[in-house]
Chain A
Amino acid sequence: MTRPMHPTSPMGTMARAIAMAMALLPVVLSAAVPAHAQGSDDGTTIAFRVGKVITMDDEERVINNAVVLVQNGRITQVGRARAVEIPAGSRVIEQPQAWLVPGLVELHNHTAGALGDLNDLVYLANPGLRSLETVVPESPNVKRARAGGVTTALLIPGSGTNITGFGTIVKFSGPTVDDMVVQSPGSLKVAQAGNPERYWFGVGRTMMNYNTRRTLEGAKAYHDAWVRFESGESAERPRFNPIYEDFRGLFTWDMIASVHTQQYQVVMTTVDMLANRLGLFTVLDHSTFDAWKTAPLVLEAGHVMTICGPRAFYLDPTQRRFNGIAARWWQGGLRDLGINTDAPVIPQEELSYQAAMGVYYGWKPYEALKGITRIGARALRIESRVGSIEVGKDADFGLWTGDPIDPRSQCLMTVIDGRVHYDAAVQRVF
């Protein structure tokens, strides 16, 4: 559901029109799409009897011979088979060899729709753009993502400008955009150095940082004015600004800043400017090359998370050594550490393989799996809903033939919000 983040905010005409259109869209689409996969939102219980559950819960439990019960899209029970009573009338899915693993969470996906929508290089900062407008629920990319056990993703615009717009947190469910959207705007996409330097005839880092800072400082002043007004501290009602309005979640941490940033120097700037000075909840996407050297800075800031990728390694020219990006961050002390695909750079369905690459280059298997499940959910600030197999959480998980980050394992079944959205037995995709 599109979650209005500030219900008290007055809406301008334009914003209202967009909301109307968005509300109508699902209706139109759902009329065209036949009844979808069997679900559990009608009150029936589905019982998954599996060989192993990797819960990714706080105790990091791994339960062998387990049963997971799902009802109305939520997990209602998790435990050893003999300890869980399957209610009469439940639909039972028997996969006694399979591993049940939380749905994988992707922080960096550009395949919402056509790639032409990726980078609308209008201005050097384009805060009004939204990736929501580009989502194509039935695209082959979505189907393949599901077949790779990926259930949640942050769909973001490209990194062609300093602020390319707002990302959308979706589940790879469907059949409608409305069914998919978890939160929009779900993030602000900021790009530091690298790609945006190619804007127009080229811009330098001083100009880009000034540009990003100016935009965000304007938005922060707007937000602060409203906070003062809403709390009664100020009687002056700020003038409504549809562009800045979308930014307000950033300053309340209801929305994250997902930042295209890489290399030591640039990541330093990112942490300093976005996290420390502007106080944003900052997710370092990429954070590749020698960016791991900023680990002490990131740890000190506290509200910065690293979701590295798609590059798995950095061949350090001063060392003639293959540094695993994730491994070096881990060794630097980071524990809130994830990994991404930057789909389509790496196909979305290979998110688990990205974790395997992290391990090949020196990381640890369990941590790598956690990095594409629980940590991903934490980075999106939806940890209370997804990322682990716990009672009360969304029933988002995959059934795998084995260790999900082993490329030899396949995802047999992908369940999102308690519905089976992919079943390899019906049609194998990946």
Chain B
Amino acid sequence: MPTPPSTLTRAPALVAVALLAALLCGWPVGAATGAAMVDDEPIVVVRAARVITGTGEEHAPGVVVIIGGRIRSVGSSAEYPPGATVIDAGDAVVMPALVHLRTRQGLSEYRRTGLRADRRAFDELVLDEHDFGGLLRAGYTAAAYIPAGTDIPGHAAVVRTAGPASARVLRESSYLRIVGSSLSGRRAIREGFDKGKAENEKIRKAREEWEKKQAEAKKAEEAKPETPAPPRPEAPRPSARGGGGAAPPEGEPAKEGEAPKPAEFTPPRTDPAAQPFMDLLDGRDAPVLAIELARASDLLHVDTIIARQPIRSRVQWFLDGNGGDWFEVASRLGERKALVAMAPTIRTVPTTAIRTNSAAELVQAGCEVAFVPTGRLSSLFARVADLVRSGLSREAALRALTINPAIYAGVDDRLGAIAEGRDGDLIFLTSDPLDGLAKVTRVMILGETVFEEKP
């Protein structure tokens, strides 16, 4: 365990504040000998020259207290019992661990086409056998694995790249991946909505029919005691058959002498691939649609399809490809405050050599941007630094590295920020993430160090 004196000479300001904090709290810093526990849960304290929370705050110096794997507090100072495990990161910068919002690292490629909204990338993952080492070393403690293929290949799965087995699975079914950059993909969206509407209609009809029969049965029931006639078994039979292939048992005549059970409607079988669209159309809880676009024009084409659909759920966008024409639709995306994922890359306006900082323009227009790494994973910070040098605000860049990818992957309740109640997934950087030189030196999951670069 590092001791304060070693850092004293290097960071006097830090030490001063830390000592002050320690004095105020009454707990001698570094005096603890055994690991402290709260309600049998371990306490981990991380102290660093700077803590970037991911929610817009930065503390310098910063202290993060993690109890039982969850963040209890973050600030320039903190109270913690003497037995806490204190990790002094020295002049390192601590920020939330990264969330990869779109990867297939380690999975085989294959082509799946058409409307496959019932498939899940989760079913491809064998967590115990999967090597997440590369992601982990680059600072990613969670990754959204996407289903391969085109059109609507299925749901992403969000998993931890390390940590206790019980905490590995974050979301079995995260966003629904939709390839809106191809004609067939856009047609699959239309097919999804058409099918969803038809299936909902099918259920509605079946329910109406069932309710009608229920009402009839009830009427017959009420009529029964007045005229206790011999049972006529042939009468209910047709109604039982009328329930369709699912053969709902509710049409069965109540057995002689038994009290009639309150019947339940069993909906007819529907295409599971249409389920998300059925839910969307009926306003039920539905998955987020993550629609991939390759050039600005794709948005116009997708909009013509979804503009007519009552999308109450989130739609988020993945801006794929090499196009540099996103500025053409920046206001269109901005006015709906869209969440867009994109690679942190400076591109050129098509047919020109004019370089464009799409991320900056989208943020300017009102979008929330989430960065997805491209090329070598370790180059992420340097690439984002380039964007900041050419117009992207620091705040937007930090959000695009932390909370926004977590929102995109649907795990922002647990990851993406250093805030009370969130998981203690942190990374330590050699320097500020936006100075172009930052390297990951240590990765923590739930307060446990899972990777540490050997000096």
Residues on A lying within 8 angstroms of B by beta carbon are 315, 317-320
14 contacts between A and B (CB under 8 A): A315-B351, A317-B351, A317-B352, A317-B353, A317-B354, A318-B352, A318-B353, A318-B354, A319-B352, A319-B354, A320-B349, A320-B351, A320-B352, A320-B354
Q: Is the interface of A mostly helix, strand, loop or mixed?
A: loop
Contacts of B352 in A (CB 8 A): 317-320
Contacts of B349 in A (CB 8 A): 320
Q: Is the interface of B mostly helix, strand, loop or mixed?
A: loop
Residues on B lying within 8 angstroms of A by beta carbon are 349, 351-354
> Within the complex, what minimum Cβ distance (angstroms) separates B302 from chain A?
26
CA A318 to CA B355, docked complex, whole Å: 9
Contacts of A317 in B (CB 8 A): 351-354
In the complex, what residue of chain A is closest to B350 when comparing beta carbons?
Answer: A320
CA A319 to CA B349, docked complex, whole Å: 10
CA A182 to CA B144, docked complex, whole Å: 78
In the complex, what residue of chain A is closest to B349 when comparing beta carbons?
Answer: A320
Contacts of B354 in A (CB 8 A): 317-320
CA A315 to CA B349, docked complex, whole Å: 14
CA A135 to CA B197, docked complex, whole Å: 76
Contacts of A315 in B (CB 8 A): 351
CA A317 to CA B352, docked complex, whole Å: 4
CA A353 to CA B351, docked complex, whole Å: 27
Query: Closest 5 interchain pairs by CB?
Result: A317-B353, A320-B352, A317-B352, A318-B353, A320-B354
> Within the complex, what minimum Cβ distance (angstroms) separates B34 from chain A?
66
Most chain A CB neighbours (cut-off 10 Å) among B349, B351, B352 = B352
> Within the complex, what minimum Cβ distance (angstroms) separates B347 from chain A?
14
Known pairs A317-B353, A318-B353; list 10 more (Cβ under 8 Å): A317-B351, A317-B352, A318-B352, A318-B354, A319-B352, A319-B354, A320-B349, A320-B351, A320-B352, A320-B354
CA A318 to CA B354, docked complex, whole Å: 5
In the complex, what residue of chain B is closest to A317 when comparing beta carbons?
Answer: B353
> Within the complex, what minimum Cβ distance (angstroms) separates A190 from chain B?
30
> Within the complex, what minimum Cβ distance (angstroms) separates A361 from chain B?
18
> Within the complex, what minimum Cβ distance (angstroms) separates A260 from chain B?
25
Contacts of A320 in B (CB 8 A): 349, 351-352, 354
In the complex, what residue of chain B is closest to A315 when comparing beta carbons?
Answer: B351
> Within the complex, what minimum Cβ distance (angstroms) separates A321 from chain B?
9
CA A315 to CA B354, docked complex, whole Å: 12
Contacts of B353 in A (CB 8 A): 317-318
> Within the complex, what minimum Cβ distance (angstroms) separates A35 from chain B?
57
In the complex, what residue of chain A is closest to B355 when comparing beta carbons?
Answer: A318
CA A317 to CA B353, docked complex, whole Å: 5
CA A320 to CA B324, docked complex, whole Å: 13
Contacts of B351 in A (CB 8 A): 315, 317, 320
Contacts of A318 in B (CB 8 A): 352-354
Contacts of A319 in B (CB 8 A): 352, 354
In the complex, what residue of chain A is closest to B348 when comparing beta carbons?
Answer: A317
> Within the complex, what minimum Cβ distance (angstroms) separates A212 from chain B?
30
CA A319 to CA B354, docked complex, whole Å: 7
In the complex, what residue of chain B is closest to A320 when comparing beta carbons?
Answer: B352
> Within the complex, what minimum Cβ distance (angstroms) separates A290 from chain B?
12
> Within the complex, what minimum Cβ distance (angstroms) separates A319 from chain B?
8
CA A208 to CA B352, docked complex, whole Å: 30
CA A382 to CA B337, docked complex, whole Å: 69
> Within the complex, what minimum Cβ distance (angstroms) separates B393 from chain A?
26
CA A94 to CA B141, docked complex, whole Å: 92
CA A141 to CA B90, docked complex, whole Å: 82
In the complex, what residue of chain B is closest to A318 when comparing beta carbons?
Answer: B353
CA A225 to CA B235, docked complex, whole Å: 127
> Within the complex, what minimum Cβ distance (angstroms) separates B71 from chain A?
48
> Within the complex, what minimum Cβ distance (angstroms) separates B284 from chain A?
47
CA A320 to CA B349, docked complex, whole Å: 9
CA A320 to CA B351, docked complex, whole Å: 8
CA A322 to CA B428, docked complex, whole Å: 50
CA A318 to CA B351, docked complex, whole Å: 10
CA A315 to CA B351, docked complex, whole Å: 9
> Within the complex, what minimum Cβ distance (angstroms) separates A320 from chain B?
5
> Within the complex, what minimum Cβ distance (angstroms) separates A71 from chain B?
57
CA A385 to CA B24, docked complex, whole Å: 102
